[in-house]
A = this chain, B = another copy of it.
């Protein structure tokens, strides 16, 4: 069904087969046809279904494993990743606990409002002036100790009815999964700041003490920005760590 297009239409109009397959399979995950945590059909069955060779199907599946959509285990099968799992949900957090594992902390005191996007939100989220956003304010704590306050903006078109749900207590990655959005990449800018009186209050530190400011944009698999967040963070028994390849 997919293969035909390779034969009939000129190449410059089409993508390589394995990329088309990736898109088709990713859509099954995004649509909820394949649920998080469940196994999907094996390589050769999928190859038969899509009328491609097993090698091409494998290339698509390997790609998706690299995109954190699937996990493949020899002898067991191929499974849809649960983005709300601890490991994956913390994927875009570079803050680590003393044990060295990425941590998100627990969410607390969530507030949500909506309004039309301001200049900053428009440039960061690549949306236009008439679009609106949800604005979420929240605080994160680790074993009761507040260490981060943050303000996030999300396009309303991508998260319809978000303000009426309780899901705001989840991070962006788990949230995206609920709305059929597959997370892709993120960029984070790190800078120095000093605590405003209010920030000092919530973080439990002295006014004007230095804090680290994390300005992050999370994108969907297709590159669309889905969240812009600025976080003010008090690192003390935690640290910020980046791995580079």
**A residues whose Cβ falls under 8 Å from a Cβ of B:** 67-68, 91-92, 94, 184-192, 194, 210-212, 235, 239-245
User: How many monomers of this protein are in the complex?
Assistant: 2
Asked whether A188 lies within 8 Å of B241 as measured between CB atoms, the reply is yes
Asked whether A240 lies within 8 Å of B92 as measured between CB atoms, the reply is no
Asked whether B186 lies within 8 Å of A210 as measured between CB atoms, the reply is no
Asked whether B242 lies within 8 Å of A185 as measured between CB atoms, the reply is no
By a CB distance below 8 angstroms, the chain B residues around A68 are 245
Asked whether B94 lies within 8 Å of A235 as measured between CB atoms, the reply is no
Nearest-neighbour CB distance to chain B for A123, whole angstroms, equals 14
Asked whether A244 lies within 8 Å of B185 as measured between CB atoms, the reply is yes
Partner of A243, one of B67, B185, B191, B235: B185
Measured CB to CB, the nearest residue on chain B to A190 is: B240
Nearest-neighbour CB distance to chain B for A195, whole angstroms, equals 12
